[in-house]
A and B are shown apart, each in its own frame.
Chain A
Amino acid sequence: MPSAPSPEPQAVLDHDGTGARVVLSGRWTADQAPGVEARMAEVADAVVGERLVLLDLARVERLDTLGAWVLDRTRHELGTRGLAADFVNARAEHRILLDEVAFRGFQESVPVRRSRAIDFLAEVGGTVVGAGRDLASGISFMGEFVAALLRVATKPARFRITSLVYHLEHIAFRGVPIIVLISFLVGCIVAQQGLFQLQRFGAAPFVVNLVGILVMRELAVLLTSIMVAGRSGSAFTAEIGSMRMREEIDALRVMGLDPVEVLIVPRILALVVALPLLSFLSAMAALAGGGVVAWLYGDISPDVYLARLRTSIGFNTFMVGFIKAPFMALVIGLIATMEGLAVQGSAESLGRHVTASVVKAIFMVIVLDGIFAMFFAAIRY
């Protein structure tokens, strides 16, 4: 041990007739890494022109894998430059360590360089191909779902009623408060804006028609679908995705259980049942919100509000909204479960698919709503 141990790694070079001798001292350990690297780089530069280099380890206070690695790497590099380098006076435990790390060349993994433009084009192409593949696999998955549904329909004993009830509770029952609250608020906002704009034409009472038709035809179903995609779609993806990560889906398969039948049919059916119910509650809440605002800001009393609603909303207005709900549910359910099944090994992949599930579901819900709007306009319903 040196008399005044300094933690810094030190290398003192002295030349004699036959070659260079480098006396190393201090700690050659990972916490001194910058010093370790710098000292050895200096040594490598300083011994240019020598034929023999002896690295004297007698005064090395501590050595760990990092120190041993850098020492052995330097010895090897000197060797490739035609200098014979060797260790002397190494303590037994340092010698074992040096042997253990014995220098080996690592293949550099060379990153492939490409031009930005080509990368961009490849990205665009990849996205388009991905979207196409999504559509194809979505349709094939829907086929699988329908097949499983038919199997269950022919053998009702196979139907998992407990699971359906459980998911109904989680999607429908527990979703009620937030959906009702948001719909109520949106109803208020629509009525308030409608009142302010219509008052300018002296058409304030028509706010009832505006609220009624907008809520029934579009808002209730859209709001509910978006909320359900965010609340339940994401949960489905996360549940099925983490089951996939831990091979639980494979376990089902090898036990002769069909994951689509066990996991997906009950979830999607629960959605298909729950979404119309929730949409109805959402519509009622939004109408109530509109009524409150109409009363407070527009002096339209609840009696008048209800009477005008009755004349402005026909049965077809009601149906236009609610026919859409089960389709929305199907789209949300299929996207959520499909994304769940696409999860691969890592936690990051799970997060990515949950996000994708919600984004895609909301996007498809809005696209579908547009298609329905065109359809109903075409048949003048």
Chain B
Amino acid sequence: MLQSHAPYPLPGDREAIIRVRGLEVAFGEKTIMKGLDLDVYRGEILGFVGASGQGKSVLTRTILGLVRKRAGTIEVFGEDLDDLSAGSRRAVERRWGVLFQQGALFSSLTVKQNVQVPMREHLKLSERLLDELARLKIEMVGLKPDAADKFPSELSGGMIKRASLARALALDPEILFLDEPTSGLDPIGAGDFDDLISTLQRTLGLTVFMVTHDLDSIHTVCDRVAALGEGHIIAAGSIDTMMASDHPWLRMYFNGKRARAVLQTGA
């Protein structure tokens, strides 16, 4: 739910809404991450970068409890996720929304029904409100009203991302996890999506954890960036700090040809 929080807390007294410490994740023999520490502060948009296959999706899924960790602690809203009873776990799940890399819309439900799934599960709403709220969310993410009654197989890639964003926002979450929300969108569509995220973040007071490859997104909407490499966070901070970093991968990423092109066009 929306908190009446202070406009934007100063860096010093910022509350870490997600706190990951000493995280280790492995599949069989293969260790994906080890000793990973990460903080996400309330009210920020954190851009999470890293080369393909480094484990950005795995980290997201581990925080969400979809992948088992070997070691470490994950605290969300100040509560250690390992210590929660089933009931409090459900309460936590109500307070976050997830946009999966492939959208993960339920293929046998229309967009509107998809958005209503979490509402029906967690809230007691009248049919009228259920209908109106679902349509409201669908319009808020910039879909045309007629998209509400379409099935996922009838949507374009960008529309799928928007529809699953609408579903992620169904319960007015406090944290929004986005896994590569703009990949596969055209640059204008991606730009619109970025604007949408930042508007929603301001309106609803969201905290956004955004896995992305998109340098435009990083420059336009992210308050802070964290980079994953070799199984841990190699650097985290404002974009300027990241650009000043002398880690080879970060130098290539932020100062490569494509990055300079983004900067020159004045993003």
Question: Interface 1/0s, chain A 11-44, versus B by CB < 8 A?
Answer: 0000000000000000101110110010000000
A102: min CB distance to chain B, Å: 10
Would A106 and B131 count as touching, CB distance under 8 A?
yes
Inter-chain contacts of A92 with B (CB < 8 A): 7
B93: min CB distance to chain A, Å: 14
A348 within 8 A of B: yes
Would B139 and A104 count as touching, CB distance under 8 A?
yes
A203 within 8 A of B: no
A29, A30, A97: the one contacting B203 at CB < 8 Å is A97
The distance in angstroms between the C-alpha atoms of A89 and B149, with both chains bound, is 38
Would A346 and B137 count as touching, CB distance under 8 A?
no
B128's nearest neighbour on chain A, judged by CB, is: A37
B22: min CB distance to chain A, Å: 34
B108's nearest neighbour on chain A, judged by CB, is: A348
Q: How many A-B residue pairs have CB under 8 A?
A: 91
Inter-chain contacts of B264 with A (CB < 8 A): none
Would B124 and A34 count as touching, CB distance under 8 A?
yes
Interface positions, chain A 49-106, Cβ under 8 Å from B, are 61-66, 69-70, 73, 91-93, 96-97, 100-101, 104, 106
* Interface size, B (range): 35 or more
Would A96 and B203 count as touching, CB distance under 8 A?
yes
Would A31 and B1 count as touching, CB distance under 8 A?
yes
Would B152 and A33 count as touching, CB distance under 8 A?
no
Inter-chain contacts of A33 with B (CB < 8 A): 123-126, 129
B172 within 8 A of A: yes
Would B107 and A348 count as touching, CB distance under 8 A?
yes
Would A100 and B140 count as touching, CB distance under 8 A?
yes
A243: min CB distance to chain B, Å: 15
Interface positions, chain B 98-134, Cβ under 8 Å from A, are 106-108, 119, 123-126, 129, 131-133
B135 within 8 A of A: yes
B139's nearest neighbour on chain A, judged by CB, is: A104
Would B4 and A91 count as touching, CB distance under 8 A?
yes
A31, A37, A69: the one contacting B136 at CB < 8 Å is A69
Interface positions, chain A 336-371, Cβ under 8 Å from B, are 344-349
7 pairs across A/B with beta carbons < 8 Å? A29-B1, A30-B119, A33-B129, A66-B129, A66-B133, A92-B7, A100-B199
B202 within 8 A of A: yes
Inter-chain contacts of A106 with B (CB < 8 A): 131-132, 135, 145
B133, B154, B202: the one contacting A69 at CB < 8 Å is B133
A29, A62, A65, A245: the one contacting B133 at CB < 8 Å is A65
The distance in angstroms between the C-alpha atoms of A107 and B136, with both chains bound, is 12
A27, A96, A101, A345: the one contacting B107 at CB < 8 Å is A345
